A and B are shown apart, each in its own frame.
Chain A
Amino acid sequence: MKLIVSSKDCRIFDHSPAPVEQILAEQGINPLEVIVSRNGRLIPEDTIVGADDEIRITRIAHGG
């Protein structure tokens, strides 16, 4: 599984299929503070993702 946190932080690891939310929490990322996409599409945090998935997260910049 590939988790792209930023242009400088790309994490590759093995993981059995699990909800994205669980994977984020294990990686120390609060799901409420990021947007999650797979193949360029937004996905809900309870989507089950697997070993072949590439997940991109976008941190929400604060300030309006």
Chain B
Amino acid sequence: MPLCSLCTEPATVFQRHSGRHLCGTHFTAEVEQRVAGTIKNRNLIAAGDRVAVALSGGKDSTALLLILSRLLPCWQDVRLIAITIDEGIAGYREETVHSAEQLTRRLGIEHHCISFSEMFGDSLDTFLKGREQQACSICGILRKKGLVSGAHRIGATKLATGHNLDDEAQSVLMNVFRGDLSRLIRNSGVDSSGKFVPRIKPLSLVSEKEIAQYLILNEAWTELPECPYTRYAMRREVRSLLSGFEYRHPGTMLRLIESRQKIEGACKGSVISEPLQSCRGCGDPSSGEFCQVCLLRRSLGK
């Protein structure tokens, strides 16, 4: 049985990127330090920030809230508030919402739950009848609206999401496959218009597997179902492809993300986005005459 590289305890994790074996204690500390480093190096959180944490109740957002709550003493006057969006996906969302409620109660963190029914008049299951192939696109647009509204409602200065290293690398590959350069280099954390609550991704250098290991070692792991709409998503194929590559060629995901940063730097000023205007339907910032949510609602007859 391998021993921890930093002490004499039995190792529970082997980190391929560092070549180290770590016990539960040292692995936990290393992950938390890595997240703290990401936050510090990218200036993600500042003194006085009200950070809305998008908490679905799944593993990534659970780890995000847990880690941020542990790092809280590092920042002055920073407050964490959890927001859960309930899309009304039967057989899936009820369990994760329950998990979110338990976690916020345990951590003593203010928690707001916003449902699709309350915001849009119906559940995602209803919206997706006959449109299952568009599940992730439709859900993503409406969920984002819910989070942004929730963040505004509570006066948040930052919106933190649990996107991990795998998610970020998959997004790079998907945008390359789609030939969508502007989306590839779009940085949702930076908004010169001041109209959006900046989004931050503190877990973006932590792999999905490390997140699961972190939760198990910190007794915060719950086996939850997978979203039933996952099978329709292009991301599922990309995930499988990338996972195989990462296993055979360690470091692939990190290099993909670094490539994006280089492309972003090289394209600075070359890719021009449409100036933001106010949506004619709801008044929210929009790149076109109507925002994505209003366009979607019209197509859904809502």
Contacts and interface: CB of A to CB of B under 8 A. Distances in A.
Given A60-B59, A62-B208, A63-B230, A41 B243 contact: no
Q: Chain A: interface residue count, which band?
A: 10 to 19
A17 interface: no
Interface string B188-231: 00000000000000000001110011001100000111110010
Interface in A24-43: 30-33, 35, 41-43
A64 B12 contact: no
Contacts of A63: 56, 58-60, 226-227, 230
A64 B247 contact: no
Contacts of B209: 32-33, 35, 60
B243 A32 contact: yes
B59 A61 contact: yes
B112 interface: no
A21 to B, nearest CB: 9
Interface of A: 30-33, 35, 41-47, 58, 60-64
Interface of B: 1-2, 10-14, 21, 24, 56, 58-61, 64, 161-164, 167, 207-209, 212-213, 216-217, 223-227, 230, 236, 239, 243-244, 246-247
